[in-house]
Amino acid sequence: MSIFVKWCFALPLTYVLYFVLSIILPQGGLIAASLRYAVMIAVFLAICKKFLNFDIRILFIKKGEKFSFRRFFSGFFLMAGLLSLLTLGRMLLNPGTFVFTFDSSRLYEWLLSLVLIILAAFAEELMFRAFIANFAAMENPPVVKVVIASALLFSVAHFQNPEVVANAVPSMLFYFVFGAVLMLFYLRDRSIEFPLGLHIGNNIVAAWLFTYPTAAVQTNALFTAPQSVAEEFIVCSLLLGFYLIRTSDR
């Protein structure tokens, strides 16, 4: 079996093995969800190392470099700040839309959800950005094809999320645009730190500040809206794309 064919099977094999193992994993709750993502990451890295004989360190950092927390936190604060401002703007324009729902007796859920947020974003950045970019490097296709492939697979992975069922077009459009932007940032730096920071910043705003009844994971957020605010997420992703264009010209 050629190395190219092996790489084609790596992601499907990851999901097959994960679903088999998930049968024996606990169901429901933040701890169980975190455990499931940890298992998915372990399965994926094992396949890359044993099946593909790939140096998995390259998925995390540039060769010969250390993980850049500066790039990570730059992405995190950029996304969290921008998305918070956009959503606060909607709150000011529609003050009755969001309801304060934070429960101080459930503060522990913030810590549990943080673990889940980090693991989920890390798993998705490894598989849909780092892996796809390194896979594409073997054939060196046009950047647009790599970006579209990443965005499509990222969207498909979220196809069964509750917010997609309830609000399909805006939700799927967000996942596609956000996935494309994340891949563009990955290709710019050839490292996972900045897109990982963007991804975690996005998820932490959705989990800690503004949630909605159809969220994939219910968390103890400060405010709850009647439905997902996918439009803010889409606008935020487009602004990030504009930021990428401006910074790439420098």
Per-residue pLDDT band for 97 (boundaries 50, 70, 90) equals confident
Per-residue pLDDT band for 38 (boundaries 50, 70, 90) equals very high
List Cβ neighbours of 189 (8 Å cut-off, separation of 6 or more): 62, 71
Model pLDDT, residue 158 = 86
Instruction: Note the pLDDT tens digit of each residue in 160-180.
Output: 887 776 677 778 888 898 999
Per-residue pLDDT band for 5 (boundaries 50, 70, 90) equals confident
Per-residue pLDDT band for 3 (boundaries 50, 70, 90) equals confident
Amino acid at 129: R
Instruction: Note the pLDDT tens digit of each residue in 180-195.
Output: 999 999 998 888 999 9
Which residue bears the tokens 């169980």?
A: 32
Taking residues 126-138, report their average pLDDT.
Answer: 93
Most confident range, picked from 43-47, 106-110, 133-137, 176-180: 43-47
Edge-to-edge strands, sheet with 223-224: 99-100, 223-224, 210-211
Quick one: which of 186, 180, 179 has its CA closest to 134? 186
Taking residues 46-75, report their average pLDDT.
Answer: 90
Model pLDDT, residue 199 = 95
Model pLDDT, residue 161 = 80
pLDDT more than 90, % of the chain: 43
169 vs 31 pLDDT, higher one? 31
Least confident of 2-6, 36-40, 41-45, 69-73: 2-6
**Taking the CB of residue 99, how many other CB atoms lie within 10 A of it?**
9
Name the average pLDDT for the chain: 87
Indicate the DSSP class of residue 159. T
Model pLDDT, residue 231 = 66
